[in-house]
Chain A
C-alpha cells in the first residue's frame, strides 16, 4: 500500500495540469457490476484551487521520451518518476468509486518508450477495469498523439470520452516548444474519432451550436435513429475534447477563439479547454518562473467559449481585427454589446430567443423563461429579477413594455463606466461612496492588501504578464 501511496502522489501531481474534469454527456444505467453515468455530470469535491474533482485524474506513467518545454514531465526535468501496474490502478479506481469519492477515471499518460507501447498498457488497465471489475462508471481517456488507429479504436470502445490535447494554438508554437510532436499526429486521431462518431450516428457537437443540424454521414450508411439504442457497442458516447495552453506562446485571443471555433466546426468537439500557463521551466522560450498565470485572461476566454457554444456568437464577433485581445475589465458579451450599441435597446416582450441571448445579463435559462412567460403574460421589469436576469447589467440594453430603465441615454462610455463602478464596489476596489477619494496609502497598507488587494495585484500582474509574453517573442 505504501507503494501505491507514493505512486498516487507522483502521478496525480503530474496529471493536475489537465483541465478537463467533466463527467457529463452520457446517461448510462448500471450495466456491469457497479457504477452508472449521469448526463449532467456530477462533481464530487473541490480542491483548494477551486477546481472540481470528479474523476481520479492520473497519469499511467510520467516517464517520458518527449521534451516539450512547457511540460512538467519533460525528459530533461528532474522529477520523481513512477508507473502504475494495470491491476493496481484498476483496484484503486474501484475502491475510490464505491466510497463515492469519484465519478470515474481520467487516464492520461506520458510517452514511455513509444505512443503505442504506452497506449497498450493503458488499454490493458481499462479492459481490466471495465470487463473484469465490471466498472460501469465514467472513463475519460487521453489519446497520445501518434497512436495507431487500431489501438485508438479499442480505447474508444471502452471510454466515454476521449481527448487529444492540442496544447499550443499554432503550428509555429508547436514547432518551437514541442518539436517532437507532429501536427498531423494530433489532428489525425481527432479526425478518426469524429469520423467514427459520425458513422455511428452518435455525433452531437458542442452546446447548442449545431442543434438544428443532422450529423450523420452524408452518403451511404445513414444509421436510422431507432437502431442507435440497439447498437450496443458504444464508441466514446460523450464525444471528444481538447485543451490549449494560454500564455505560453504569443497567440492573440482572437487567434485562440478562432481556433476553438474551427475545432468545434470541423471536429464537433464537445469542449475546448484552456489552461493558463503555470511556469514550470527555465526555458528561455517561455515566460520566466515568476510570472503569474494569466487567470483573468483564461476566464475571459472561457466566457467567449460559452458565447460560441450556447449564445450563437461567432469568433469574429467576439474578437475582431481591431480588438485582438479580449477586454480584461469587461466580459466579452458586454464588450460586444458596447461595440454594437446601435442594436440596442431590445424590447424584452418582442425580441426573438436569439436576440434575447445576446443581451448582457440574460443567460440561456432566463431567455427561455422570458419566452415561456410571454405566451401567457407580458414580462414587466420587476419580473426580470425573479426570472433570473441580472438586471444591473441588462437594464442598459433593454426596454420593458416600451420603457428604458438604464438611466441616461444609451452611450457606450457611460454604460461602461456605470458597469465598472458597480463591479469595483463589489470587489472592494473603490469606496461605495462616490465622494470618498481613494487613497494611495490604503492600497499600500499591507493589511488591506492581503484582504482586498489581491485582486488589484493579480490584475496588474496579468497585464504585465501579457506584455512579457509579447516582448519575449
Chain B
C-alpha cells in the first residue's frame, strides 16, 4: 500500500504511524506528485497531530535527538524519493537504536547521511552567498532584502544565524523558487508567502555600494593565478545570478 501525504512534516510522520499501526507502507509520496499505477493500491492519509507527535517523540526517545534533526533536514531537501529514504532510516533506527547513525557503510544510513550533508552544506554555503540590498519602506525605515533560489528548502535553517547577526536590522530573505520568505525583526522571525509585488524600493546609496563591491571583487583576484575551474567548483554557477559581484561585470 502506498501512502500519500500533504507535503508537511506532520503528514509524513502520520504516514509512519500508519505504517506501524495499520498496513505496512510500500512507499510514501506527496499527493500532487504521485503517479498512480494499475496494480498498486494507495491511500490518502489525513494529517493527524496526535499521531504525528507520537512518532516524533518516539524517534527522539528510541533513536536520538540527533537523528530526529537529521530526518527533519532530509525532509527539507529536494532529494528524490526522500520520504522512502527517511522511512527506511526510521525503521532501521527503531530496530537498532541510537547506534544507527554510526553504521556509515549501510546503504540506508548512507542515503540519509548524504541527503543531510547536501542540505547542511547548502545552508553553510548560503550563510556566505546571500547578498542583501538595503531597501526603504514607505515610512523611511531601512530594510535588508535578499533574493535566493536554493536547491533545498533551507529558509528556516538560515534563521538563527541571521537573526543573531542582524539583531537590530529588519530583513527579508526571499526564496523565489518557493515563493516564500523569511521575515525577521529584532531577533524574531516567521516564514510567510511572498511575491515579487511585495518588494520595496532600493535605497539611494545601494547602487554605489554594489559598484564598490564589484570593483573590489574584480581587484582582489591575482591575474597570474586565474583559475576559473576552482572558482566554479567552490561557488557553483547556479548561484551567480543572485550575486552582486556579477551584476555589473
Which residue of chain B has the shortest Cβ distance to A92 in the bound complex?
Answer: B212
Q: When the two chains form their complex, are residues A30 and B164 in contact, meaning their CB atoms are under 8 A apart?
A: yes
Question: Which residue in chain B gives the minimum CB-CB distance to A101?
Answer: B213
Residue from B105, B144, B166, B223 in contact with A386 in the complex, judged by beta carbons closer than 8 Å: B105
> In the complex, which residues of chain A have a beta carbon less than 8 angstroms from the beta carbon of B104?
369, 372-373, 383, 386-388
Q: B124 contacts the other chain (Cβ, under 8 Å)?
A: yes
Say whether B215 faces chain A, with CB atoms less than 8 Å apart: yes
Q: Which B residues are in CB contact (< 8 Å) with A376?
A: 99, 102-103
One of A47-55, A215-223, A417-425, A464-472 contacting the partner: A47-55
Task: Give A40's nearest chain B residue, CB to CB.
Answer: B124
Chain B: CB-nearest residue to A99: B132
Q: Which residues from A are CB-within-8-Å of B128?
A: 42-45, 54, 100, 103
The answer to whether A99 touches B134, judged by C-beta atoms less than 8 angstroms apart, is yes
Q: Are B133 and A99 in contact (CB under 8 A)?
A: yes
* Residue on A nearest B234 in the bound complex, by CB: A46
Chain B 128-146 near chain A by CB (<8 Å), digits 1 or 0: 1111111000000000101
Instruction: Contact check, B212 vs A4: say whether CB atoms are below 8 A apart.
Output: yes
How many A-B residue contacts, CB cutoff 8 Å? 157
- Is B38 interfacial (CB-CB < 8 Å)? no
Q: Does B122 contact A (CB under 8 A)?
A: no
Chain B residues with CB under 8 Å of A383's CB are 104-105
Query: Which of A12, A48, A379 sits near B216, CB closer than 8 Å?
Result: A12
The listed residue with most A CB atoms (<10 A of its CB), out of B105, B228, B229, is: B105
Q: Is the CB of B105 within 8 A of A47?
A: no
Q: Chain B nearest CB: distance from A391 CB in Å?
A: 12
Contact status B110-A386, CB under 8 Å: yes
Contact partner, B219, options A13, A293, A377, Cβ 8 Å: A13
**Which residues from B are CB-within-8-Å of A382?**
105
Please give the number of chain A residues whose Cβ is less than 8 angstroms from any Cβ of chain B in the complex.
61
Q: Does A444 contact B (CB under 8 A)?
A: no
A5 near B105 with CB under 8 A, answer no
Complex CA distance for A375 and B244, rounded to whole angstroms:
49
The answer on a CB contact under 8 Å between B213 and A96 is yes
A36 touches B165 (CB 8 A): yes
Q: Are B164 and A36 in contact (CB under 8 A)?
A: yes
Q: How far is the CA of A337 from the CA of B102 in the complex (A)?
A: 29
Interface string of B35-66 (1 = CB under 8 A from A): 00000000000000000000000000000000
CB distance from B175 to the nearest CB of A (A): 16
A46 to B224, CA, bound (A): 16
Is A440's beta carbon under 8 Å from chain B? no
A50 touches B164 (CB 8 A): no
CB atoms of B213 and A29 under 8 A apart: no
In the assembled complex, the Cα of A386 lies from the Cα of B169 at a distance in Å of: 43
Interface status of A1 (Cβ within 8 A of chain B): yes
In the assembled complex, A234 has its CB within 8 A of some CB on chain B: no
- Smallest CB–CB gap between B188 and chain A, Å? 14
Q: How far is the CB of B22 from chain A (nearest CB, A)?
A: 32
> Nearest Cβ in chain B — how far from A136, in angstroms?
8
Query: Which residues in A have their C-beta under 8 angstroms from that of B224?
Result: 278, 292-293
User: Residue among B131, B220, B226 with the most chain A CB within 10 A?
Assistant: B220
Q: Which residue of A lies closest to B206 (CB)?
A: A99
Residues of A within 8 Å of B233, CB to CB, are 50
Is the beta-carbon distance between B213 and A377 smaller than 8 angstroms? no
Contacts of B231 in A (CB 8 A): 46-50
- Find out whether the CB atom of A377 lies under 8 angstroms from the CB atom of B217: no
Interface residues of A in 57-101 (CB under 8 A from B): 57, 92, 95-96, 98-101
Is A171 engaged at the interface, CB distance under 8 Å to the other chain? Answer: no
A426 interfacial by beta-carbon distance below 8 Å: no
Determine the chain A residues whose CB is within 8 A of the CB of B167 once the complex forms: 30, 33-34
CB pair B129–A372 under 8 Å, yes or no, is no
- Is A35 positioned at the interface, with any CB of B under 8 Å from its CB? yes
B193 interfacial by beta-carbon distance below 8 Å: no
Beyond A17-B222, A52-B234, is A372–B102 a contact (Cβ under 8 Å)? yes
Give Cα distance in the complex from A103 to B124, angstroms.
Answer: 13
B216–A380 CB distance below 8 A: no
Which residues does chain A contribute within 8 Å of B69, judged by CB atoms? none
Which of chain B's residues has its CB closest to A388's CB? B104
Within 8 Å by CB of A379, from B105, B107, B129, B132, lies: B105
| CA of A227 to CA of B62, assembled, Å | 37
Which residues of the other chain, B, contact A40 by a CB distance below 8 angstroms?
124
CA distance A387 to B117 in the complex (A): 13
CB–CB B103/A100 < 8 A: no
Complex CA distance for A101 and B234, rounded to whole angstroms: 16
Q: Are B129 and A44 in contact (CB under 8 A)?
A: yes
Contact bitstring A23-35, B, C-beta under 8 A = 1, else 0? 0000001100111
Q: 15 interchain pairs (CB within 8 A)?
A: A12-B220, A43-B128, A44-B128, A47-B220, A48-B226, A49-B227, A51-B222, A51-B225, A96-B212, A99-B134, A100-B132, A293-B224, A295-B225, A369-B104, A373-B103
Q: Which residues of B are in contact with A by a Cβ distance under 8 Å?
A: 99, 102-107, 110, 124, 127-134, 144, 146, 161, 164-169, 205, 208-209, 211-213, 215-217, 219-231, 233-235, 243-245
A interface residues, Cβ below 8 angstroms from B: 1, 4-5, 8-9, 12-13, 15-17, 29-30, 33-36, 38, 40, 42-54, 56-57, 92, 95-96, 98-101, 103, 137, 276, 278, 292-293, 295, 369, 372-373, 375-377, 379-380, 382-384, 386-388
**6 A-B pairs closest in CB distance:** A383-B105, A50-B230, A47-B221, A50-B227, A49-B225, A44-B128
Instruction: Give me 6 other A-B pairs in contact (C-beta within 8 A), A43-B234, A46-B231, A50-B227 excluded.
Output: A34-B169, A40-B124, A54-B128, A100-B131, A101-B131, A101-B245
